[in-house]
Amino acid sequence: MIKTIDEFVTYGQEGFSWMQTKNTNRSVIQIKNLSKTYPPDFKALNEINLEIEHGEIFALLGPNGAGKTTLISIICGISNPTSGRVLVNGKNIISDFRATRAIIGLVPQELTTDAFETVWDTVSFTRGLFGKSRNPAYIEKILRQLTLWDKKDDKIMSLSGGMKRRVLIAKALSHEPDILFLDEPTAGVDVELRKDMWEIVRGLQKTGVTIILTTHYIDEAEEMADRIGIISKGELILVEEKSTLMKKLGKKQLALELQVKLKKVPKKLKKYKLELVNDGNCLIYTYDTKAKHTGITALLSELSDAGIKFKDLNTSKSSLEDIFVNLVKEKT
């Protein structure tokens, strides 16, 4: 497990060097030393370095106020950076903003829609705004995919929250973007709709769209993402492939259900940092999957020597949520 900030930094640096050497030529977004300071001196982003690869789903995790939306806003042109630069498809987002913005779609966090427009009109408006000529067939295709076709003539104000969220996605897709930003796409959305959203996102990925989603629902990142970045207090504390991250940082727990309950853990076993739970009926041993020796054999042997017998055992793996909480907690 990573235990100190220095370890995080080292870990992060390793992550960046890995990215730069492995897939630089596939990067669709390159962020270099990006910082954003709000007056008088609030650093919303601090020296962010990140590369997003073509066709991947990248999840940016972080608590509220971590800087996720600020980062997206800068890439999309809604907010100005204080320093650093961002390249989209190799082009600068400021000097070549037309080229970069034309291939980006954004689904904002808030349900910011026109109230009095119809679904069809608002989606068509966005397509025009991004420089595309009218294409009713394409708009129809998107609305059908998002199950909005029946609502195409309805005013947005008459739609439910979930439907409004779909409208925002339809708007973001209306100009056939190569990159799609989803800023907390399932915030406030019920479980069923959330799963629908995940399906939509997966479908988009299959068509070659690169997807960057921010979320603080860990299960969403775990379910969807190819890679995960964790941001806290404006700093990107790590970027890693989801599977590697789970492997590297994931801890496992061995739960031993005892035949006879214990009042306390014997002193001899202190080095294993066992937890006695379930009213003394269960011992929990947490071990590092990366370690050369997990200590399980020795523990079981010492338990036997101590006359502690168990009737069942099972292991469980820590979730991304545990990893995230640990990282952010230690960082703060």
Partner 1 sequence: MNIEAVKAIYRFEMARARRTVFQSIVSPVISTALYFIVFGSAIGSRITQIEGITYGSFIVPGLIMLMVLTQSIANASFGIYFPKFTGTIYEILSAPISSFEIVLGYVGAAATKSLILGLIILATAHLFVPLEILHPFWMLSFLVLTCITFSLFGFIIGVWADGFEKLQIIPLLMITPLVFLGGTFYSISMLPPFWQTVSFFNPVVYLVSGFRWSFFEMADVNVWFSLAMIGFFLALCMGTIWWIFKTGYEIKD
Window 41-80: residues binding partner 1 (CB under 8 A) = 73, 76-80
Q: Tell me the Ramachandran region of residue 92: left when phi exceeds 0, alpha when psi lies from -120 to 50, beta otherwise.
A: beta
Query: Which residue type occupies 186?
Result: T
When binding is defined by CB under 8 A, the residue of 41, 42, 116, 208 that contacts partner 1 is: 116
Length of the chain: 332
Q: Are strands 91-92 and 83-88 parallel, antiparallel or unpaired?
A: antiparallel
**Residue 30 or 126 having the CB closest to partner 1:** 126
Interface with partner 1 (CB under 8 A), residue from 25, 64, 95, 133 = 133
Q: Which stretch binds partner 1 (CB under 8 A): 10-18, 59-67, 105-113, 213-221?
A: 105-113
Confirm or reject binding of residue 97 to partner 1 (CB under 8 A): yes
Is there a cis peptide before residue 40, judged by omega within 30 degrees of 0?
yes
Shortest Cβ 130–partner 1 spacing (Å): 5
Distance CA 221, CA 239 (A): 13
CB of 171 to partner 1, least distance (A): 7
CB of 137 to partner 1, least distance (A): 17
64 or 112: whose CB is closer to partner 1? 112
Minimum gap (Å) between residue 50 Cβ and partner 1: 19
Does 137 participate in binding partner 1 (rule CB under 8 A)?
no
Size of the site for partner 1 (CB under 8 A): 36
Beta-carbon contacts of residue 181 (< 8 Å; ≥ 6 apart): 72, 75, 76, 104, 105, 106, 107, 172, 212, 213, 214
Instruction: Indicate the helix (H) or strand (E) that contains 85.
Output: strand 83-88
Quote the CA–CA distance of 210 and 215 in Å, as a whole number. Answer: 16
The minimum distance between CB 158 and partner 1, in angstroms, equals 15
Q: Nearer Cβ to partner 1, position 25 or 112? A: 112
The interface region with partner 1, picked from 15-23, 58-66, 127-135, 217-225 by CB under 8 A, is 127-135
DSSP-assigned letters across all residues of 148-208? -GGGTTSBGGGS-HHHHHHHHHHHHHTT--SEEEEESTTTT--HHHHHHHHHHHHHHHHTT
Give yes or no for residue 281 binding partner 1 (CB under 8 A).
Answer: no
Residues that bind partner 1 (CB under 8 A): 36, 38, 73, 76-80, 97-102, 104, 106, 108, 110, 112-117, 121, 124-133, 171
